Amino acid sequence: MFRFIILSVLIASAVAVCPDVTTKPDFDLGQYVGDWYEIQRIDTVFQSDSFCVRARYEALNEPGTFSIFNSATKPDGEFITITGTGYQTNTSAPASLTIQFPGQPMGSYLVLDTDYTTYTTVYSCDVILGITVEQGWLLSRTKTLSEDVIKMAMENFVKFGVDTNQFNQYYQGDDCNYDFPEASIKK
Q: Are 33 and 66 in contact (CB under 8 A)?
A: yes
pLDDT band for position 8 (50/70/90)? very low
Tens digit of each residue's pLDDT (9 = 90 or more) over 82-102: 999 999 998 899 999 999 999
Which domains, from first to last, does the chain contain?
2-184 (2.40.128.20)
Return the H-helix or E-strand segment holding 154: helix 147-158
Distance between CA atoms of residues 150 and 3, nearest Å: 47
The chain-wide mean pLDDT, for the chain, equals 87
Give 185's DSSP letter. B
pLDDT in tens, 135-154: 999 999 999 999 999 999 99
Q: Can you tell me the mean pLDDT for 64-78?
A: 91
| pLDDT surpassing 60 at residue 2 | no
**Side-chain-facing half-sphere of 164: CA atoms under 13 Å:** 16
Give pTM, 2 decimals.
0.85
For strands 65-73 and 79-88, give the pairing: antiparallel
Could you list the beta-strand ranges (E) of 31-118. 34-42, 51-59, 65-73, 79-88, 96-100, 107-114
> Lowest mean pLDDT: which of 34-38, 43-47, 75-79?
43-47
Angle at 31 between CA 30 and CA 35, to 5 degrees: 105
Q: Give the pLDDT confidence score for residue 1 in this predicted structure.
A: 52
